[in-house]
Amino acid sequence: MSVRLSILGSGSAFSGCGFNASAVLDERVMVDVGAPPHVLLPRLGLRIHNIEVVLLTHFHMDHTGMLPLLLGALAHADQPPEPGRLAIAGPVGTRELVRRLTVAGFGGSTQRRVEEVVAPRYVVLQDGSDVEIGGGRVRSHSVVHSTCPSLAYSVTRGGVRVGFTGDTTLCAGLHRLADEVDVLVCECSGVDGPVEGGHLWRGEVAALVREHPRVRFILNHLSLNHLSGRVSIPGALVAHDLLTLDLSA
């Protein structure tokens, strides 16, 4: 069996080499919403209505900022989705964050329409959560990034375990995640040395690749240096916007 992975956004917050972080598994599970899904999904022949689960790794804008656009596009679609079909899952505070972003961006009327038409369900996840959601299994691992609660995820669909690091340092949660997945979508924010704010750089990712030779690594959250080809790591594939792969265990 296999699972289809689509990278909507591969760039880091301010890099300019790609949209911000967002990926989709099998047209159903979206991990982070830093890229505009209502624009990019149709370019891949996909529909926003097919998204059943949104997983947020943490609350920084380059991972969450486009979520109000997804919700607004669903709420104002000619054929609205079935109310309650969409689940939004993430760390404690996810519901409050989504409401604040939507009201700040588009006003209370849009938020009310989202609540009435889309009526998203909210799922709180934490370190060790292991839940069935959106037709697959999601396991959560707490990772270290900045000052906000941050989670990395292992998502199992079609018998394939795909991991998403979010933003993180080398920490116990990241190693647990790498131990349990077949494919790891891994951030690589730095090229020449450590990056402030709790990120991975090329040397650390290269060591992680060597420690987990059976795992297929896909690098994202890339800096401008990605454009010069300097991010290359043996054993890892460098992502780009709209990259689509069929993955098997």
220-235 per-position pLDDT tens digit: 999 877 776 778 899 9
pLDDT band at 164 (very low <50, low <70, confident <90, very high): very high
- The predicted pLDDT at position 210 comes to 96
The separation between CA 145 and the C-alpha centre of its own chain, rounded to angstroms, equals 15
CB 34 within 8 A of CB 212: no
Mean pLDDT lowest among 139-143, 164-168, 175-179, 191-195: 191-195
- N- to C-terminal Cα separation, the chain: 8
Report the mean per-residue pLDDT for the chain: 94
d(CA 108, CA 87): 21
Please state the rounded mean pLDDT for residues 77-100.
95
pLDDT band at 84 (very low <50, low <70, confident <90, very high): very high
Give the amino acid at 186: C
Please state the rounded mean pLDDT for residues 180-201.
91
CATH topology of domain 2-248: Metallo-beta-lactamase; Chain A (3.60.15)
Percent of the chain topping pLDDT 70: 100
Please state the rounded mean pLDDT for residues 102-113.
94
109-143 per-position pLDDT tens digit: 999 999 999 999 999 999 999 999 988 999 999 99
Is residue 249 over pLDDT 80?
no
In order of 66, 96, 176, the CA distances from 99 in angstroms are 13, 5, 32
